[in-house]
Amino acid sequence: MKINQINDFIYEISSEENKNMLVPARFYAHPSQIETLKKDDSLKQLTNVATLPGIVGYSLAMPDIHQGYGFPIGGVAAFDADEGIISPGGVGYDINCGIRLNLTNWNKVEIQKILGSIVNDIYNSIPLGAGKGSLIKINKNEFEKLVTEGIDWAIKNGFATEKEKEHIEDKGKLIVKDLNGVSDKAIERGISEIGSLGSGNHFIEIGYVSEIFDKELGSNLGLFKNQVVVWIHTGSRGYGHQICSDFAKEYQTVSKKYGIQLVDRGLACAPFKSKEGQEYYYSMNSAANFAFVNRQLIAHKIMEILENYSKKVKPLKFELFYDLAHNIAKLETHIVKGKKKQLVVHRKGATRSFPAKYIKGEFANIGQPVLVPGSMGTSSYILLGSENSLELSFGSSCHGAGRVKSRSQAKSEIDPRKLKESLEREGIIIKTSSLSSLSEEAPDAYKDVETVVEVVNNLRITKPLAKLKPLAVIKG
């Protein structure tokens, strides 16, 4: 495969590479990442996406790109809403896998003595791992309301506030016209897991603000140095997983029906405006609503736990900084060749990063927050959508460090006991129900988050706001 370097951080693969490609592939990366990128199928997958009907501009990827199911993770693909497709493989199995950052008014010194106890309380209160139950019990009728109304359901039921809603991407509610595409099986799995973390790379982290790059803006947004924060990384659990499975299977024949040639079964898709396309779209949106509520319920529970320690620290303020989706397809208006166009923007392991003047609400004139969690034990970043993001990536940035080792490779090469010990030597508390799965999330299994962030900031897709470090990590 011929990779053309356009400048320091922009690389392209020509559409001549493969006769089925409709547009070139383009990825944003650091020169030091290129050799590693050639080792898995991620670039091949990136060119495969360029063969799908209605793709606009480029098949794109962020510097945290790695191999996924059909579409690469870290990929961004925009399709013409009238003539293009929607694909479950372009979103991923964990629909609205996303990340949330809550701020407290406590500093890290104040919680030193009670941190271990807080970690135990969280560990014992939130269902962690696969199939470990839910935080609330609701019936099918109520569940259907929950996935249709998203955060509005959480507000009605006392789990969220109007203020929090303003700090959630799309206000925590994506349009669901009907649930015709949602199987009973998906609903059963969802009911039993609402308010649960899951496993894999999902985590709860207690961290602190270590550096604020724009001091005035940081202060205006409620950040201060050494501030204790809570990260929650999870998604739509078995509900989204079942929806993705159902459609990935059904779409094998649906793609054929519409005469779409697939170079990989993971690219299965339907025309966005078709009956099948719309069914997936609303089902996917309902899973996104599930995930927004899921993270909200977990955050609400953690707030209750922290409040119990108020007497030992000081009265708690627990505020949502931002909650976002990094596995989702969104119907958005973009300028294509000087004209407004409705596009279905698939972000699979990519974060929306609209610049200051294109967003409304709390972050208008500031830029959309881009939360970039590093791998376990490493730094994380708060970035803000910046001026080149629409032009370079349909308003998208990176979502994390990105894997360099497959789960199985990491498991066979990294001793989880030694890993836990080395993280604890650095002063980070690690609490997990599955020591063996820790290896899969080892820092060595991931790219360097600093390099990833350097690329998107240099391209002015985003700009840096703050850097954060971990104090404790709780995992399934």
Partner DNA sequence: ATGTAC
CB of 60 to DNA, least distance (A): 20
- Cα-Cα-Cα-Cα torsion 9, 13, 14, 19, nearest 10 degrees, comes to -160
List interacting residues with DNA (CB under 7 A).
Answer: 93-94, 97, 129-131, 185, 188-189, 193, 198-202, 234-235, 237-238, 241-242, 249, 476
Whichever of 372 and 392 has its CB closer to DNA, that residue is 372
CB of 440 to DNA, least distance (A): 7
Whichever of 53 and 235 has its CB closer to DNA, that residue is 235
Please, how many CA atoms are within 13 Å of residue 9, restricted to the half-sphere of its CB?
A: 18
**Contacts of residue 39, Cβ cutoff 8 Å, sequence gap at least 6:** none
3-state SS, residue 204: strand
CB of 105 to DNA, least distance (A): 31
Query: Is position 167 annotated as part of the catalytic site?
Result: no
3-state SS, residue 396: strand
CB of 268 to DNA, least distance (A): 14
Contact 439, 181 (CB under 8 A): no
266/214 Cα distance (integer angstroms): 42
CB of 38 to DNA, least distance (A): 22
Q: Is 68 exposed, middle or buried (0-12, 13-18, 19+ CB in 10 A)?
A: buried
Q: What is the DSSP letter of 72?
A: P
Whichever of 249 and 314 has its CB closer to DNA, that residue is 249
Q: Is 411 exposed, middle or buried (0-12, 13-18, 19+ CB in 10 A)?
A: middle
Q: Catalytic residue among 241, 300, 326, 399, which?
A: 399
234/116 Cα distance (integer angstroms): 22
Whichever of 94 and 152 has its CB closer to DNA, that residue is 94
Triad 226, 229, 230: Cα angle to 5°: 155
**Contacts of residue 461, Cβ cutoff 8 Å, sequence gap at least 6:** 28, 353, 385, 386, 388, 389, 392, 393, 396, 397
Contact 251, 268 (CB under 8 A): yes
CB of 187 to DNA, least distance (A): 11
Whichever of 63 and 84 has its CB closer to DNA, that residue is 63
Whichever of 196 and 386 has its CB closer to DNA, that residue is 196
Instruction: Tell me the catalytic residues.
Output: 399
